[in-house]
Amino acid sequence: MEFFADTTMIYITLAAVFGIFMAWGIGANDVANAMATSVGSKAITIKQAIVLAAIFEFAGAYLAGGQVTKTIRKGIVDLDAFGGNADLLIWGMLAALLAAGTWLLIASQRGWPVSTTHSIVGAVVGFAAVGVSVDAVSWGKVGTIVASWVISPLLAGSISFAVFTSIQKLVMNTEDPLSNAKKYGPFYLFLVGFVIALVTIKKGLKHIGLDVNGGMELVYAVILGAIIAFVGMFLIHRVKFEKSLEKRSHFANVERIFAVLMVFTASAMAFAHGSNDVANAVGPMAAVISVAQSGELGSTSSLPSWVLLVGGIGIVIGLATLGYKVIATVGKNITELTPTRGFSAEIAAATTVVLASYTGIPVSTTHTLVGAILGVGLARGIAAIDLRVVGNIFMSWVITLPAGAILSIMFFYMFKGIFGG
C-alpha cells in the first residue's frame, strides 16, 4: 500500500510521542494512587515515594502490563465496522492518545485525581462512535469495563474495611498492641507478597520468555510471599521504639511498625498500578504500530517489548515532574491517614487492581484507591471523611468521560484532514 509506504514512520513516531505524553499523564495523575497514602500518613517522604514508584511502576508495566493492553488495543472497537479502512483506526488511536494525555495534563495541574482509564476509554469510544459509526464500538465490552468502575471501588472499600477492622481487633484493641503488631505484621506482608507474585508469574513472565503453569505459580507465589514476610519481620525488629512515645500515645510505636509495612504495600500498589494502567498509554500505541506496519486491520502481531518500555519510562517521568499535586489531594484531604489506615487502603487497592490485571479488565486505580480510603474512613465513622473533597473528586470523574470523548473527536477530524486530504 503506497499510503502506508509513505507514512508508516510518521505514524509510528507520532504513536511513540503521543504514547509517552499519555504515559506522562498517567504518572502525573495516577501514580498518586500508589504513593498518596504512604506520603499522606508520613510513612515515607515524597522523594522516597518517587524512587519506589520509579522502580515498581516500571517493573509492573514491563512484566505484567500485556494482558490489559490487549483489551485497550483490540477489545473496545469492532474492527468489522471500519470497512477495511486501516487509516481510520490509526487516526482514531492517535487522537485518543493525544486527547487523553491533554485531559490528564489539565486535571493534574489542578490536583484532580481523575481516572486515566476513563480518559482513554472515553477517547476511544468518542472517535469510534462519531468519527466512524456507532457500530464501531463494542458496546458489550464497554459495558463490562463500566461495570468494573463501579465494582472495583466497592470491592476495594470492602477489603480495606475488613483489613482495618482486623487490625483493630488483632492489634489495636488488645492489651499489648505493640507485641501483637510485631506478631501479625508479617502475616499481612505475606498476603501482599502472595497476591503480587501470583499475578506477575501467571500473566507477566510470558513477556520475558518464561511460562509457569501446572499449579507451580501458586507454589512460587507462596515462596515469594514468605520471603517478603521474613524481610518485613527483619525490618520490624530493627525499628527503634521510644518508651516516651508509648506513654504519650498508646499506638505511636504500633504506627511505626505499620510505617515499615507501608513501604511494601506502596511498592505493591505501584507494581499493580503499572501492570494495569500502562495499557492506557501503550494499548492505542501498539494498535497504531501494528496496523501501520502491516496495513491490515486484523493484524495480530505481538506487542513489541520496547512499547511497554516506553510506557514505563513515561509514567516515571510524569510522577517526578507533576505527581505531587494529586498526591496531596488523595493522601491528605479525603480523610486523616495514619500508617495503619493507609496500609489497609493500599493492601485493598493493590489486591483489587492485580485481580483486575489477572482477568484483563482495565479498572480505574483512582476509583479503586478512593474506594479503599473511603472504606477505611467509614470504619471510623462518616464524620472522619471530608465529603466536600469527595464530592469534588466524584465531579471530576463524571467530567472525564465526555472530556476525553470530545477532545478525541476534535483530534480525529484534525488527523483526517491532515493525512486524508
In terms of Cβ atoms closer than 10 Å to its own Cβ (0-12, 13-18, 19+), residue 398 is: exposed
Please indicate whether residue 90 or residue 71 has the higher confidence score (pLDDT).
90
Q: Which residues of 349-380 are buried (b: 16+ CB within 10 A; e: fewer)?
A: bbbbbbbbbbebbbbbbbbbbbbbbbbbbbbe
Q: Report which of 65, 116, 46, 70 is spatially closest to residue 272, judged by C-alpha positions.
A: 65
88-103 residue pLDDT tens: 888 988 999 999 999 9
221-238 residue pLDDT tens: 889 889 988 988 888 888
Confidence of residue 4 (pLDDT cuts 50, 70, 90): very low
Please indicate whether residue 311 or residue 201 has the higher confidence score (pLDDT).
311
**Across-strand partners of 137?**
77
In terms of Cβ atoms closer than 10 Å to its own Cβ (0-12, 13-18, 19+), residue 382 is: exposed
pLDDT for 414 beyond 70:
yes
Strands (E) across 307-350 are located at: none
**Across-strand partners of 352?**
none
Q: Report which of 258, 299, 251 is spatially closest to residue 38, judged by C-alpha positions.
A: 258
Q: Domain locations in the chain?
A: 2-420
Cell triple for 337: 491517614
* CA–CA dist 153, 159 (Å, integer): 10
Is residue 352 within 8 Å of residue 107, measured between CB atoms? no
| R_g over Cα of the chain | 22
Please indicate whether residue 14 or residue 261 has the higher confidence score (pLDDT).
14
Within 8 A by CB and 6+ apart from 189, the residues are 225, 228, 229, 231, 232, 261, 264
Question: What is the model's pTM?
Answer: 0.77
Which residue bears the cell 483490540?
A: 74
Q: Provide the percentage of residues in the chain whose pLDDT is more than 90.
A: 8
Mean pLDDT within 292-301: 64
User: 137 phi and psi, to 5 degrees?
Assistant: -95, 130
